[in-house]
């Protein structure tokens, strides 16, 4: 089906855990005719919801990866991108938000705006994503959608406007009154029955409709005039609400119960009516061919005839090989289109192009600007940008944060070893913040990532998807060492005890640098060190910075400048110069006054104001710095910077301090210097460990 761009929607569904996001996604697929049986989350029938196609997600009831699913509704093609909500998955969140043009914010009619709702709303706001609200679970005891609308206004600062009011709540919940058409909608089986507004709701419906007209008329002079002249049409209201929504100045509020099949069809109508099509959203890329200093941002044209620009936002292993989910931002791709991977510089040719419908797929011939599709048999990493070979754009920033936590893992048996390797290979491709290596000393496999939960999820996925069971060690904070001053070195490596000798002398200096981890500058003049041995020196220094002498963690921010040296016609070799470089670094490292750095997290604690004092205290205890506190009525948020090593067990402490009423999120901020007391303690522990190992 070729869809014109006006009839395309790329949306995400965002929510606090347990607001019924997965159930809602499932119902949307059902009503749009793509699946024929409704599975429940944590499926009693053992099948599970279609969107969460990873086993693990089923078990936890949370959604981790961003699968894209295409559905049709009222002549529109809607791509639903499943968005992870947890902050630990920063890169995944960022990628899935990039490909959205609009979102449905799901709220629980009992729980209302919860801490995670605030987090996901903030993320959507950061990426300027227009949103609709859906107040779910109106069948629950204590359901109060009107209160939740107030919270949207008070806590999230949305200009939240009711598009509907409920007909009955809790076990009496039967449907909604559509305030635009002024009709009652009853959801019976798979059908929607339209009827007169019940008599007892007429007065309230009229009042709420006036509120809606007031809010909508802010965005349309035509509607304002029509109201005055008493010739309002439904189309005028829709157009005004749409304008307000796309400008992110109005949030239309829908309601129902996905579980009880109430309100889903009306929400889908809202999605196509009020959320933008891809041409109404501004997308920018970074032009990597622009000269440094020039403004490198370019606005992309949602035009199928322009040169192609697309983003690979998700990889998946399917039975037929790697599946690469793409969003086309500009131009189009067809079978045979030649594309440039602007990260790797590799050119590829598009083979099979498909569209995903939950668990089955459809071959398509073309994907044009605005569309989401998947490619088969393309070797790339998640987050790569593909362009027409005439361009060199990047859709994502090149910056990838360094992992802050590591965990040793050990396969339970020989079989698990191979499977583990396969899984790790896949994960590192999917997620640049997930790394793995084998520790040369302990021979353990180490995985690294952005937080405890981040690593937990991968350990679980190894078990579920790859049948590789592993044992895990204690999580370790990824410390770093750094120089604080420039020191000169002059080191000779010499060995002449029988046989071939070894000789190499290196002269130069090492100094701290603010950005980057390692830089090697060759400033040797007049062939004092022959050109073929320069890379040997670089290699030696590179090896040396892998482990600092303080606590054996990598040394970061080092610039090595080599400006002189000496060699021997016979005895100099690659090995000799590598050894000289290592020796030089070791010799002067202590003189460079190294210090230990630790990952510092940006921590946000949200909860009732009454616990502010307890929260301030808990952060102070953990060597944290409070950056700011924001109070708005009874709600408060504290932003702080806290070392990761002090954050273990914080969720438990916070729960007990605040009777479970406050919650926190954290993400990596920077590497910061550890205080001297902590530094001494770490060095002592390291010395003890070394002593134990040498025994």
183 vs 623, beta carbon nearer other proteins: 623
- Which position among 64, 619, 647, 666 is part of the footprint of other proteins (CB under 8 A)? 619
Q: Is 625 in the site for other proteins (CB under 8 A)?
A: yes
Tell me which stretch binds other proteins (CB under 8 A): 138-146, 308-316, 527-535, 608-616: 608-616
**Rounded to an integer, what distance in angstroms lies between the CA atom of residue 114 and that of residue 662?**
10
317 vs 639, beta carbon nearer other proteins: 639
Tell me which stretch binds other proteins (CB under 8 A): 28-36, 138-146, 474-482, 614-622: 614-622
**Rounded to an integer, what distance in angstroms lies between the CA atom of residue 668 and that of residue 651?**
17
CB of 150 to other proteins, least distance (A): 14
609 vs 683, beta carbon nearer other proteins: 609
Encoded tokens for 206: 């009229």
Tell me which stretch binds other proteins (CB under 8 A): 33-41, 557-565, 611-619, 661-669: 611-619
230 vs 515, beta carbon nearer other proteins: 515
Question: Which residues of 267-308 form beta strands (DSSP E)?
Answer: 284-287, 297-299
CB of 609 to other proteins, least distance (A): 7
- Give SS3 for 131: strand
Phi, psi values for residue 310, rounded to 5°:
-140, 155
Q: Is 515 in the site for other proteins (CB under 8 A)?
A: no
**Rounded to an integer, what distance in angstroms lies between the CA atom of residue 395 and that of residue 325?**
14
Start-to-end Cα distance in the chain = 71
361 vs 600, beta carbon nearer other proteins: 600
392 vs 629, beta carbon nearer other proteins: 629
Among 20, 21, 28, smallest CA distance to 74 is for 28
- Give SS3 for 536: helix
CB of 625 to other proteins, least distance (A): 5
Indicate the DSSP class of residue 89: G
* Contact between residue 668 and residue 404 where contact means Cβ atoms under 8 Å apart: yes
586 vs 670, beta carbon nearer other proteins: 670
Query: Which residue, chain included where needed, has tokens 């070979």?
Result: 389
- Which contiguous run of DSSP H or E holds residue 503? strand 502-512
By CB atoms closer than 10 A (0-12, 13-18, 19+), residue 269 is buried
- Which position among 186, 376, 616, 648 is part of the footprint of other proteins (CB under 8 A)? 616
CB of 646 to other proteins, least distance (A): 15
590 vs 625, beta carbon nearer other proteins: 625
Q: For 637-652, give one letter per residue: b (16+ CB within 10 A) or e.
A: bbbbbbbbbbbeebee
476 vs 629, beta carbon nearer other proteins: 629
Q: Is 351 in the site for other proteins (CB under 8 A)?
A: no
By CB atoms closer than 10 A (0-12, 13-18, 19+), residue 398 is exposed
* DSSP states along 239-277: HHHHHHHHTTS-EEEEE-BTTTTBSHHHHHHHHHHHSPP
442 vs 634, beta carbon nearer other proteins: 634
Tell me which stretch binds other proteins (CB under 8 A): 27-35, 36-44, 225-233, 621-629: 621-629
**Rounded to an integer, what distance in angstroms lies between the CA atom of residue 288 and that of residue 384?**
13
439 vs 632, beta carbon nearer other proteins: 632
- Give SS3 for 66: coil
154 vs 456, beta carbon nearer other proteins: 154
CB of 664 to other proteins, least distance (A): 15
- Give SS3 for 497: coil
Query: Which residue, chain included where needed, has tokens 């829709």?
Result: 238
- Which position among 33, 351, 617, 660 is part of the footprint of other proteins (CB under 8 A)? 617
CB of 14 to other proteins, least distance (A): 23
Q: Say how many C-beta atoms besides its own lie within 10 A of residue 561's C-beta.
A: 17
- Give SS3 for 67: coil
74 vs 625, beta carbon nearer other proteins: 625
- Give SS3 for 387: strand
Q: For 424-447, give one letter per residue: b (16+ CB within 10 A) or e.
A: bebbbbbbebbbbeeeeeeeebbb
CB of 256 to other proteins, least distance (A): 32
* DSSP states along 50-88: SS--SHHHHHHT---S--EEEEEETTEEEEEEE----GG
> In residues, how long is the chain?
695
CB of 655 to other proteins, least distance (A): 18
User: Given its phi and psi angles, is residue 42 left (phi above 0), alpha (psi -120 to 50 degrees) or beta?
Assistant: left
523 vs 631, beta carbon nearer other proteins: 631
CB of 486 to other proteins, least distance (A): 14
CB of 621 to other proteins, least distance (A): 9
**Rounded to an integer, what distance in angstroms lies between the CA atom of residue 630 and that of residue 614?**
15
153 vs 452, beta carbon nearer other proteins: 153
- Residues 626-645 interacting with other proteins (rule: CB under 8 A): 626-633, 636, 639
CB of 619 to other proteins, least distance (A): 7
CB of 670 to other proteins, least distance (A): 10
CB of 589 to other proteins, least distance (A): 21
CB of 561 to other proteins, least distance (A): 22
What residues contact 479, with CB distance under 8 A and at least 6 apart? 551, 553, 596, 597, 598, 599, 674, 682
- Specify the pairing of strand 405-411 against strand 372-376: unpaired
353 vs 612, beta carbon nearer other proteins: 612
Query: Which residue, chain included where needed, has tokens 């070394």?
Result: 690
- Which position among 168, 609, 661, 667 is part of the footprint of other proteins (CB under 8 A)? 609
- Which position among 5, 17, 521, 614 is part of the footprint of other proteins (CB under 8 A)? 614
Tell me which stretch binds other proteins (CB under 8 A): 155-163, 454-462, 465-473, 616-624: 616-624
- Which position among 75, 351, 473, 613 is part of the footprint of other proteins (CB under 8 A)? 613
3-state helix, strand and coil shares in percent for the chain, rounded to the nearest 5? 30, 30, 35
**Rounded to an integer, what distance in angstroms lies between the CA atom of residue 409 and that of residue 446?**
6
Residues in contact with other proteins, total (CB under 8 A)? 19
- Residues 525-544 interacting with other proteins (rule: CB under 8 A): none
Tell me which stretch binds other proteins (CB under 8 A): 252-260, 451-459, 542-550, 619-627: 619-627
CB of 647 to other proteins, least distance (A): 17
Q: Is 620 in the site for other proteins (CB under 8 A)?
A: yes
**Rounded to an integer, what distance in angstroms lies between the CA atom of residue 65 and that of residue 325?**
12
CB of 673 to other proteins, least distance (A): 8
Q: Say how many C-beta atoms besides its own lie within 10 A of residue 144's C-beta.
A: 18
502 vs 636, beta carbon nearer other proteins: 636
CB of 244 to other proteins, least distance (A): 23
Tell me which stretch binds other proteins (CB under 8 A): 112-120, 472-480, 537-545, 623-631: 623-631
Applying CB under 8 A, the residues found at the interface with other proteins are 609, 612-614, 616-617, 619-620, 625-633, 636, 639
């Amino acid at each position: 089906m070729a869809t014109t761009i006006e009839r395309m929607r790329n949306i995400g569904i965002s929510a606090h855990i347990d607001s019924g996001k997965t159930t809602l996604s499932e119902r949307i697929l059902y009503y749009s005719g793509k699946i024929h049986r409704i599975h429940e989350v944590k499926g009693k029938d053992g099948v599970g919801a279609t969107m969460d196609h990873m086993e693990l997600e089923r078990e936890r009831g949370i959604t981790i990866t961003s699968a894209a699913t295409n559905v049709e509704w009222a002549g529109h093609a809607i791509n639903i991108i499943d968005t992870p909500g947890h902050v630990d998955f920063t890169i995944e969140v960022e990628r899935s938000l990039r490909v959205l043009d609009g979102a449905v914010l799901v709220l629980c009619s009992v729980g209302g705006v919860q801490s995670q709702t605030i987090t996901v709303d903030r993320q959507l706001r950061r990426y300027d994503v227009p949103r609709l609200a859906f107040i779910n679970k109106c069948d629950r005891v204590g359901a109060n959608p009107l209160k939740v609308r107030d919270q949207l206004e008070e806590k999230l600062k949305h200009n939240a406007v009711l598009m509907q009011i409920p007909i009955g709540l809790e076990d009496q919940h039967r449907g909604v009154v559509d305030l635009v058409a002024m009709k009652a909608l009853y959801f019976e089986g798979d059908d929607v029955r339209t009827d007169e507004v019940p008599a007892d709701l007429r007065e309230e419906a009229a009042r709420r409709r006036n509120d809606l007209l007031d809010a909508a008329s802010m965005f349309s002079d035509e509607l304002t005039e029509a109201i005055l002249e008493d010739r309002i049409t439904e189309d005028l209201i829709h157009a005004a609400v749409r304008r307000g929504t796309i400008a992110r100045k109005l949030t239309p509020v829908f309601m129902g119960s996905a579980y009880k099949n109430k309100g889903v069809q009306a929400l889908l109508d809202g999605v196509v009516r009020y959320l933008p099509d891809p041409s109404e959203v501004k997308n920018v890329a970074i032009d990597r061919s622009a000269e440094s200093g020039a403004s490198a941002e370019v606005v992309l044209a949602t035009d199928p005839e322009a040169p192609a620009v697309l983003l690979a936002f998700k990889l998946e292993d399917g039975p037929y090989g790697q599946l690469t989910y793409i969003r086309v931002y500009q131009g189009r791709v067809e079978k045979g289109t030649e594309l440039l991977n602007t990260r790797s510089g590799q050119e590829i040719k598009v083979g099979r192009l498909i569209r995903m419908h939950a668990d089955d797929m459809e071959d398509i011939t073309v994907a044009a600007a605005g569309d989401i599709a998947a490619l088969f048999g393309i070797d790339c990493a998640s987050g790569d940008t593909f362009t027409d070979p005439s361009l060199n754009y990047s859709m994502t920033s090149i910056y990838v944060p360094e992992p802050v936590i590591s965990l040793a893992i050990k396969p339970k048996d020989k079989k698990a070893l191979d499977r583990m390797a396969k899984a790790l290979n896949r994960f590192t491709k999917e997620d640049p913040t997930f790394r793995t290596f084998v520790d040369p000393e302990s021979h353990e496999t180490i995985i690294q990532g952005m937080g405890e939960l981040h690593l937990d999820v991968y350990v679980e996925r190894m078990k579920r998807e790859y049948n590789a069971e592993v044992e895990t060690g204690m999580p370790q904070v990824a410390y770093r060492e750094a120089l604080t001053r420039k020191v000169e070195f002059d080191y000779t490596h010499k060995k002449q005890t029988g046989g071939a000798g070894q000789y190499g002398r290196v002269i130069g200096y090492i100094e701290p640098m603010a950005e980057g981890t390692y830089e090697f500058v060759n400033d040797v003049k007049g062939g004092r060190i022959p050109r073929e041995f320069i890379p040997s020196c670089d290699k030696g220094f590179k090896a040396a910075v892998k482990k600092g002498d303080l606590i054996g963690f990598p040394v970061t921010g080092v610039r090595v400048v080599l400006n002189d040296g000496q060699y021997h016609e016979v005895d100099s070799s690659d090995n000799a110069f590598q050894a000289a470089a290592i020796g030089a670094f070791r010799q002067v490292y202590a003189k460079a006054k190294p210090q230990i750095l630790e990952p510092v997290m940006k921590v946000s604690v949200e909860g009732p104001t009454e616990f502010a004092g307890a929260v301030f205290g808990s952060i102070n205890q953990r060597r944290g710095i409070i950056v700011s506190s924001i109070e708005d009525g009874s709600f408060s948020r504290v932003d702080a910077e806290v070392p990761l090593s002090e954050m273990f067990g914080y969720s438990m402490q916070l729960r007990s301090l605040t009777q479970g009423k406050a919650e926190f999120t954290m993400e990596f901020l920077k590497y910061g210097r550890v205080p001297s007391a902590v530094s001494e303690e770490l060095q002592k522990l390291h010395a003890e460990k070394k002593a134990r190992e040498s025994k």
